[in-house]
Structure 1
Amino acid sequence: MVAAPMTGQGKTTVAAGLMAALRDAGLSVSGHKVGPDYIDPGYHALATGRPGRNLDPHLVGEERVAPLLLHGARGADAAVVEGVMGLHDGRIGADGFASSAHVAALTRTPVVLVVDVSRMSRSVGALVAGMAAYDPAVEVVGVILNKAGSARNVAEITRAVGPPVLGVVPRDERITSPSRHLGLVPASEREDSARVVERLGEHIAGHVDLDALLEAARSAPALDARPWDPAAEAAAPGTGPRPVVAVAGGRTFTFRYTETEELLTAAGCEVVAFDPLEDTGLPAGTRGVYLGGGFPEVYAGELAANRGLLAELREAVRSGVPTVAECAGLLYLADALDGHAMAGAVPADARMTERLTLRYPEAVSPGDTLLTRAGERVTGHEFHRTALTPGHGDRPAWEVDGTPEGFASPTLHASYLHVHWAGHPKLARRFAEAVRGAPAPAPAGRSPAARGAVTGTRPVADPLRHHGDVEARGGMLDFAVNVYPGGRPAWLERALRGSLDHADVYPDPAPACEAVARRHARRPAEVLPTAGAAEAFTLIARLRPWRRPVVVHPQFTEPHAALEQAGHSVTPVLCPEGGGFALDPAAVPEDADLVVVGNPTNPTGVLHPASVVRGLCRPGRLVVVDEAFMDALPGEPESLAGERRGGLVVLRSLTKHWSVPGIRAGYVIGDEAVVRDLARVQTPWSVSAPAVAATVACMSAEAGAEAERRAEEFGDWRTGLEAGLRGAGIGFVPSRAPFVLVKAGEGVHARLRGQGIAVRRADTFPGLDASWVRVAVRPPETARKLIAALVAG
């Protein structure tokens, strides 16, 4: 055992390096870790080429520690056990229970102490002597001096230390391990992990007496125990197909015990790993799901972007596929994590906190669940910096210290608590039994949602780029595209046709600048005509090396897509359904240097108060307000287009209200310095002559009167549509825009398409799922056809 007087002495460096050095010397080595830690065993696995394993009396019981050591070391020439904390440090108030010393005594393993001597001399002798004499059941057989300095000081320490000095390891900054909020960065997340472990092996081999260490290992007496056997704990049924249990892996989900998979395999299941960052669906034939621990908060944006897998996972949980989720898995199943939309399979939101939760509790099952029976007790551990709101459902998974925690049902068990199933094998048996009893999977291993039966279309490869015009093609009755359904005014037609008379010269955007400036009582220098709002979003994405760009969702996805295309990592902030999709400024991180928000918002139709949007402004932050549909509201309430404020710009689009989406006309208006910088990154002549002409025409007094008439007409149509939905008992979000977000239920989108009616699927908007559709406002006679189709079922 590689142990230490206290944490921070270099145990992991020495233990992983020793494993790698012994393997390089031609030995088969097994790596073990005292305690519940998942990260160190990942480095052990790299060093040994075998699974890293844990030895923890609290998690598995004293009687299983030696059998688990023998199981993990089966066929190995040497077993190296890395200790935890200080040699005698265990559970608080339990007299060293589950400490390194406790495990060393249970397994009769000789101990080598690693001591950081960078700030000590002869005192090392006193420290080691005290550690060695403290517990007669623990045999300290040697010392490795870590971070050693001068030869004179090393000689002084060596004379003072009683047990043999087996190695003198100098400091080497090249092999330090990076850390994060819960400790070391897992090996699977470091691109150079293999090389780091290789350097550790070389470093230790050059400064530690491997022969002396092996001689100390040979002094360990034989254990009076039999190796742990997963087949004896969870015997498989007779013959028959092995149902697939999908186990989350990759960089995000690195925390799970090897014995868990061995138990499931012994119980007759086929364990198949999938990567939530890379795989677009669950493994073929999935009949059970296991989501372990890890760091989903680090990859929340990437996890949220894989919407196809999230939809399939949500459908799997809702349809009763047996699912176990621990800690990170719980966060992945939540509605949102730090504002990023997750699977939405449990009704809770998760956020990072300053407080670290670290405990080693005994938990009680408050009722019968997928894994437990009422009153049963298990030992486990929690280690996280997130908080869940609410913290539990109507049927909690556990009571921990008298407090309900997690979510449970006959097919779901999700909580923060990590449990080592080798210590509680009945959990594995029950899960395997539920998996074997689950319905056979659909062909190709896809849930109805993933196959497109819910959405009516194939899964969208790039949800952020999906647009409603795709849904309305092929002669469908169009409720999918938010373009005014009437014809263009005669004055606009004349302006567009007249612009072709000047097609032989390059377009000049100056008239458009001046017209927009007059319309909003601004200076021309505060206006930048653009090829629609889409170009404006691209310009903003390219404007600066944004440190933390935020997009408020659900909203039009183009700004999010543009930022990602420019190489930025976007932080989504979700407006929750429970709050009516209203914007909470406090949800926007203070360090955000770019915030994009729609007003009124597409697709929710929510109009945020100008005071709330204005409150997002901060020194050093750019706030971008997408007012693409503001001209469809009578009087344009809550608009900020006429307000001069540093760090604020407004985007407008003319394509929807004036039925000219093929012209691509829009503009940016706001902070003059920002507008000037945007103009510098704009492609010359990107705004065509017809777009310039359309912009000028749509800023006229005649256009203002027509815009107001159309806005009032939209309002009347929307009132009628919402009344029809209300009368039919169909849920919707009260709207101020020329569209309504309708909660029609999963499958409605497909059914309407089958009847020749196109509505906009909403599951491509972050924060929404396939139960929502967006419906464009249409004249009453057209809207009645939609209502009738919805009511007909």
Structure 2
Amino acid sequence: MVATALPRIAVAAPASGHGKTTVATGLMAALSARGLDVSGHKVGPDYIDPGYHAMATGRPGRNLDPFLVGDKRIVPLLLHGAAGADVAVIEGVMGLFDGRLGGAGEASTAHVARLTSSPIVLVIDISHASRTHAAVVAGLATFDPSLHIAGVILNKAASTRHADEVRDAMVRTGVPVLGLLPRDACVETPSRHLGLVPAAERAESAATLTRLATFIAEHVDVDLVVEIARRAKTLDGRRWDPAAEIAAPSAARPRVAMAGGRAFTFRYVEAEELLRAAGCDVVDFDPLTDKSLPVATSGLYLGGGFPEVHAAELAGNVELINHLRAAITAGMPTVAECAGLTYLCASLDNMPMIGALGATAAMTKELTLGYRTAVAPADSLLARTGERITGHEFHRTRTTPAAGVTPAWDVSAGPDGFAGPTLHASYLHVQWAGYPLLAQRFANAVHRYAAASDGGRRTSCMPPDELTEPAEDPLRHHGDAETAPGLLDFAVNVYAGPRPDWLNTALRNALDDATAYPDARAARAAIAERHGRPPHEVLPTAGATEAFALVASLRSWRHAVVVHPQFSGPHAALVDAGHIVTTVSCRDDDGFALHPEAVPNDADLVVIGNPTNPTGVLHPAQTILRLLRPGRVVLVDEAFLDAVPGQPESVASQRAEGLLVTRSLTKHWSIPGVRAGYLLGDPTLVADAAKHQLPWSVSTLAIAAMIECTAERGHTEGERRAQQLVNWRTTFEEALTKRGIPFVSGHAPFVLARVGVGVHSALREQGIAVRRADTLIGLDPAWVRIAVRDDQTNQRLLTALDRVRAAQPGLPIAASMV
């Protein structure tokens, strides 16, 4: 676990209205005025306060909300937002212990302060009492012993005598008074029907912040605040990395236009960062003033804000409205949240809007506000049927949709929004950092739209099925999609040598038995004997793919985790079964090592490959076993372990509650057309999986392959093949080293190499197919996976690679692990 020192404080209060925003923003401005690099953060989903934080610090204002992103992402997001900062100031929400209703304080300031081990500075409005405030502080300081109330700032003192009365009483609490603020209307921020007026709408905001910084510096012991912040404990965890959560589906850089200006000020900065990591260029446009979308726009994001306040101006920009309507109608991928939804309607408060939706919108007196759990009722641009997400609503408008529309989400109050293959519009605000798959799908659609809009232009010498355009679905993109007639195949990991005669004979003989329904009992017994287990701990399957689907449907997983980079099959199976999947990424700067502590404690399913496809990293068995805990299932995909001599670090012989292992015979034995694999482990889980298995799913040929390949002569031949693969890979890696090409030195029948952006396509022009890696979570287009072949065949690839590099002398190849 990485320990990071980050000076920080959390600013809290007994309730709303005590001056948290004034003090927190003022402290940010005062610290910035001293020359410190300050990072501002806001507990909860609010967009407005982070706007002030950004103005005070010169850095993006960011939110920390456990309900929206999960507990485990809070520290990584804090470290990401505060990267390079001297100090972080976290503004709280409502009262210190107030969070989601019915959630026992979930997403409260106390919850975030506890997760981040942040010392707390209380802000108390003392205008309506005196000594009683000391009792309130004493209660707050002792209510939760895990929290540290480090100081208090007294706000809105009526007089010196009143202030002294409160300050004297505070001595009994043991909580030091850090400052005393007199009433000063010049630093208060104006309000609106949804809260504070956004900073972007206030021309005088900069001047107000300057006054506020001076005001705080005069009345608060800022030196002591900094000292408290520097005493904060180091944080254990890795910085959130959008590039580890998402992949660019092509080498192109399509443009996503995000609405901004005074009417659209609400969006999470992490959404932009995820889209950029997914290979998109994000640009702003102002619907109030711009007459058209930015040139070459291929995707549209309409966030939240106050379009009802600017309805007349929006309606008056007829040129842009016409442009947007035409683009959306033509299928440009479009995401709209809350204000964006109303902008897409036919009218807003009787003012004409874009008209892309068969709905009207109007202001009401009722405020809709709160956290929501939502389920996707159908497949759409962002979601798949049954997927569950969390979000929040914050609006006073209502839409009146036409009948028969497909909603974006189902929430407790009923259907919400509109959705289709290219459009997703809803009142729900979703923090994509908590659900990066939504950003991935949007980015995929943007890449596809950009490619289609390019007139279908391709390099003329490339085969007609060249894969420079985005994969239709990265989770379902496999190496066999890379191959084509006339291409030398380094994309598929099937062993390149001939099958043994005895296996061919067994497969041919199995055809004579194909007149009867298959009976897998003999295969189960053979596999069990090979692994030294009783037969009831083994389940033959139609390849590892069926095993993944069986585990995905085994339970209603509350928190499924897939460790990436990883073969996408298990992730896709979980998504298909309706589960939201959390990604835990191994990093190339750490040798793609597994860190069990990075897996959220509440994960009830964890999936990991060993050796992992595509990195080839072989994780120590003891490290994998550290993932086990009561109530958790750990699925280890050992599909390529038979390609490692002696099969070290296997956990297939380990007996532990919650442990499952899947194996595949298709690649090592050159029988991808015969879906042969198996699941073994915890007998209760294996029995449950068997109940979900369709009758006769394992074919007669697959049964014959299982029996023969797990027999003694199969074991001997398998070891010979594994050693031959080691010899081929060693020679190939030596050749890469001589060329200065970074690669991961793994234990698999393939090599993950960082050859540079554009080389995948250039090799296809040379007649070579390698597996693109940008469809795999955590990798970018500079990586490719290369199946190892015999030395003579490998040399053909190396020769082609030399030609590509000679033709592109400026080819970017970053330093990596060798």
User: What TM bracket, shorter-length normalisation?
Assistant: 0.5 to 0.7
| 1:213-233 deviations in Å (ceiling 9; x for gaps) | 011111110111111000101
Give 2:153's aligned residue. Answer: 144
Percent sequence identity over aligned pairs: 63
Give 1:196's aligned residue. Answer: 208
Give 1:74's aligned residue. Answer: 83
Change (3 A) 1:286 1:62: same
8 Å Cα contact 1:366-1:396 kept in structure 2: yes
Give the aligned residue type for 1:114: V
Question: Where does 1:741-760 land on structure 2 (aligned, <5 Å)?
Answer: none
8 Å Cα contact 1:393-1:406 kept in structure 2: no
Residue 155 in structure 1 maps to residue 164 in structure 2:
yes
| 1:504-535 deviations in Å (ceiling 9; x for gaps) | xxxxxxxxxxxxxxxxxxxxxxxxxxxxxxxx
Give 1:170's aligned residue. Answer: 182
Give the aligned residue type for 1:25: R
1:319 pairs with one of 318, 326, 330: 330
Change (3 A) 1:33 1:116: same
CA distance in 1, matches of 2:289, 2:146: 49
Residue 352 in structure 1 maps to residue 363 in structure 2:
yes
Give 1:297's aligned residue. Answer: 308
Question: Where does 1:470-485 land on structure 2 (aligned, <5 Å)?
Answer: none
Give 2:564's aligned residue. Answer: none
CA distance in 2, matches of 1:391, 1:58: 32
Question: Where does 1:390-401 land on structure 2 (aligned, <5 Å)?
Answer: 390=401, 394-401=405-412
CA distance in 1, matches of 2:379, 2:413: 17
8 Å Cα contact 1:294-1:328 kept in structure 2: yes
8 Å Cα contact 1:391-1:406 kept in structure 2: no
Q: Give the aligned length.
A: 443
Q: TM-score, normalised by structure 2?
A: 0.53
Give 2:812's aligned residue. Answer: none
8 Å Cα contact 2:254-2:450 kept in structure 1: no
Residue 110 in structure 1 maps to residue 122 in structure 2:
no
CA distance in 2, matches of 1:188, 1:290: 19
CA distance in 1, matches of 2:404, 2:306: 23
SS of corresponding position for 1:360: strand
8 Å Cα contact 2:299-2:333 kept in structure 1: yes
CA distance in 1, matches of 2:188, 2:230: 30
Change (3 A) 1:437 1:238: closer
1:123 pairs with one of 110, 119, 132: 132
CA distance in 2, matches of 1:263, 1:34: 21
CA distance in 1, matches of 2:227, 2:182: 23
Give 1:252's aligned residue. Answer: 263
Give 1:35's aligned residue. Answer: 44
8 Å Cα contact 2:68-2:434 kept in structure 1: yes
CA distance in 2, matches of 1:428, 1:124: 46
| 1:378-421 deviations in Å (ceiling 9; x for gaps) | 00000000010028852110001161111100100001000000
Residue 407 in structure 1 maps to residue 418 in structure 2:
yes
2:107 pairs with one of 75, 98, 104: 98
How far apart are residue 307 of structure 1 and its match? Answer: 0.7
Give 2:55's aligned residue. Answer: 46
SS of corresponding position for 2:236: coil
Give the aligned residue type for 1:212: L
Q: Give unmatched runs, 5+ long, in structure 2.
A: 1-9, 456-818
RMSD (Å), alpha carbons: 1.4
Give 2:27's aligned residue. Answer: 18
Give 1:588's aligned residue. Answer: none
Of the two, which has the highest radius of gyration? Answer: 1
CA distance in 2, matches of 1:202, 1:234: 43
8 Å Cα contact 1:380-1:419 kept in structure 2: yes
Residue 186 in structure 1 maps to residue 195 in structure 2:
no
Question: Where does 1:702-717 land on structure 2 (aligned, <5 Å)?
Answer: none
Question: Where does 1:213-612 land on structure 2 (aligned, <5 Å)?
Answer: 213-237=225-249, 239=251, 241-390=252-401, 394-401=405-412, 403-439=414-450
Q: Give unmatched runs, 5+ long, in structure 1.
A: 445-793
CA distance in 2, matches of 1:196, 1:443: 48
CA distance in 2, matches of 1:100, 1:391: 41
How far apart are residue 120 of structure 1 and its match? Answer: 1.3
How far apart are residue 442 of structure 1 and its match? Answer: 6.8
CA distance in 1, matches of 2:110, 2:307: 34
SS of corresponding position for 1:381: strand
CA distance in 2, matches of 1:439, 1:39: 33
Give 2:66's aligned residue. Answer: 57
CA distance in 2, matches of 1:439, 1:142: 54
| 1:76-98 deviations in Å (ceiling 9; x for gaps) | 00000000000000111111010
| 1:189-247 deviations in Å (ceiling 9; x for gaps) | 011011111111111011000110011111110111111000101122453x3000010
Change (3 A) 1:402 1:187: closer
8 Å Cα contact 1:391-1:405 kept in structure 2: no
8 Å Cα contact 1:158-1:165 kept in structure 2: yes
CA distance in 1, matches of 2:278, 2:289: 28
8 Å Cα contact 1:116-1:146 kept in structure 2: yes
Give 2:11's aligned residue. Answer: 2
SS of corresponding position for 2:444: helix
Give 1:773's aligned residue. Answer: none
